Amino acid sequence: MSILNNFRLDGKVAVITGAGKGIGAAIAKSFAEAGADVVIGARTLSDLESVAKDVEAMGQRALAVPTDVLEFAQLQNLANRAMQEFGHVDIVVNNAGGFPPKPVSQTTAREFENAFRFNVSTAYEMSRICAPLMVESTGGGCILNISSIAGHKPTPCFAAYGTAKGALSLLTQELAQEFAPKVRVNAIAVGSTKTDALNTVLTPEIEQTMVDLTPMARLGEVEDIALGALYLCAPAASYVTGEILGVNGGLERLNMQMPRAWGGVG
């Protein structure tokens, strides 16, 4: 058997949140190309339908389920729809999340808590719902959390987002210990990746500075993250759990320069 077969996902069903565009959409399409059927959740149906069309063009099935991950009942519905349509769940990708860089002085405690809920609590709930379904339907599976280099490389203006992603990375390791050996749990610590969210703050000058501060001399593409996701969710990584894979161009610090509270740039 070719070693490349270990990167196939034939017969697998993957549930992916935040899959309407960006990293989530790229992961859905890469999984489909590797042979998986996908259940994709996001708030905007038209985005999901566009991704589903691309998946179906590859000969795989796609179930688009409008989902607001902040409404936990909708996470349960996403899992239920996957089971009703396909009868099993093999892979869950907790991709939905985010929070803009913002000074602490301008970030209320409620906003801080909301960042935690969006990035961590949603992944916790989806994992809690789906891990038993994986074991009951196929004997096991894998969970992938999309974390960030901001979770372990502190920088000004990322207190809310960085703390949340740091917690998500630790949650990944905690769940890996609790769910082993049936369900593997890993994460990707992404770096600056070209998505709609990043594009809202990019100017040519900011982008050039970020590129200059990145050892690999470019920003990430969503396909870079999708390739890491494919490895971690494929049989190739069957002996890998509790790991935080860095896909970030070699960054040792964030490449978005932000002001300190009382002068200077971090």
Task: Tell me which residues are annotated as active site.
Answer: 161
User: Quick one: tokens of 58?
Assistant: 């590859």
**C-alpha–C-alpha distance, residues 93 and 230, integer Å:** 11
Per-residue three-class SS string for 76-93: HHHHHHHHHHHCCCCEEE
List phi, psi (to 5°) of 189: -90, 95
Q: Which sign, positive or negative, has the C-alpha torsion 92, 178, 145, 68?
A: positive
Chain centroid, CA 42 distance in Å: 13
Task: Please report how the helices 22-33 and 222-233 are oriented relative to each other, as an axis angle in degrees rounded to 10.
Answer: 50
112: CB partners within 8 A, 6+ apart:
159, 160, 163
Contact 14/93 with Cβ under 8 angstroms? yes
